[in-house]
Amino acid sequence: MAKKPRQYRKRVTTPSKRAAPVVEERKPKEGAIEVQGTIGECLPSTMFRVKLENGHQVLAHISGKMRKNFIKILVGDRVTLELSPYDLNRGRITYRFKN
């Protein structure tokens, strides 16, 4: 019995209908305190010592979205932090301001 030749379906491409990106207002997680500060020191394993505007120093790590999108943070950058009301000495960096 002879084999039939393989038939491939033609791939039809249509122009993608992408919508314009929607800019949403960033909101902190429920119960979190949002503050701004400046990176003072880079520590191992993506930890940073951040000096807040009120003079306090906080230990902070990068949020998951920033880590996923490879946002680089250097000493002197202005950032936004989320602090937990339970531990005000640790925070999560959620945004780096463009210089």
Residue 67: which domain range? Answer: 33-96
Does the residue 82 lie in any domain? Answer: yes
Does the residue 11 lie in any domain? Answer: no
CATH number at residue 51: 2.40.50.140
Higher pLDDT, 90 or 3: 90
Give the number of domains in the chain.
1
DSSP 83: E
DSSP 25: -
Q: Residue ranges of the alpha helices (H) in 1-99?
A: 64-68
Confidence bin at 94 (pLDDT 50/70/90): very high
Q: pLDDT tens digits for 13-68?
A: 555 555 555 545 566 677 789 999 999 999 999 999 999 999 999 999 999 888 99
Does the residue 26 lie in any domain? Answer: no
Contacts of 80 (CB under 8 A, 6+ apart): 26, 34, 35, 36, 93, 94, 95, 97
Phi-psi region of 37 (alpha: psi -120 to 50; beta: other; left: phi over 0): beta
47 CB neighbour count, 10 Å cutoff: 15
